Amino acid sequence: MAALADAVASFPGRRGRANLRAALPLLTDRAESPAESMIRVELAAAGLPKLQVNVDVRDDRGQFLARPDLSFVNYPVLIEYEGDYHRTDRAQWMKDIARTRKLETMGFSVVRSVANDLADPSELIGRLQMNLRLHGWR
């Protein structure tokens, strides 16, 4: 990340530099899929609170609960991107349902995202805004 920032800084006046500088804070090495990254950038552009990428969620005793794709830093709202594999593989689907139930029991709101949200993220953004407001955001 530092090397990228240095590279951008070393070419003052270069065409596209402003876009590169704007993109630098959006980069992460924790994303595990292109779709996850695209959704994260859309949510940041929509002005939603700061997101974490693939960070472990633990209960009050420190027990591992899940590692959601995206989570808000100061709010118990999690985002799981569900690729088609989550629908077509029965074992994965059952695992996803069990994990979501466990997280909801612990007070988290779990918002599931799918491919259609990449084409038009407005509905996803609206659901997230509603969930965040329920947890004290603005």
Range in 57-66, 85-94, 122-131 with the lowest mean pLDDT: 85-94
Q: Where in the chain is the domain with CATH 3.40.960.10?
A: 31-134
CB–CB of 40/31 below 8 Å? yes
Q: What CATH superfamily is the domain 31-134?
A: VSR Endonuclease (3.40.960.10)
Residues in the chain: 138
Q: Is the pLDDT of residue 4 over 70?
A: no
Instruction: Give 7-35 pLDDT, tens digit per residue.
Output: 777 777 778 777 666 655 666 666 667 88
- What was the pLDDT predicted at 128? 98
79-124 residue pLDDT tens? 999 877 767 788 989 999 999 999 999 999 999 999 999 999 999 9
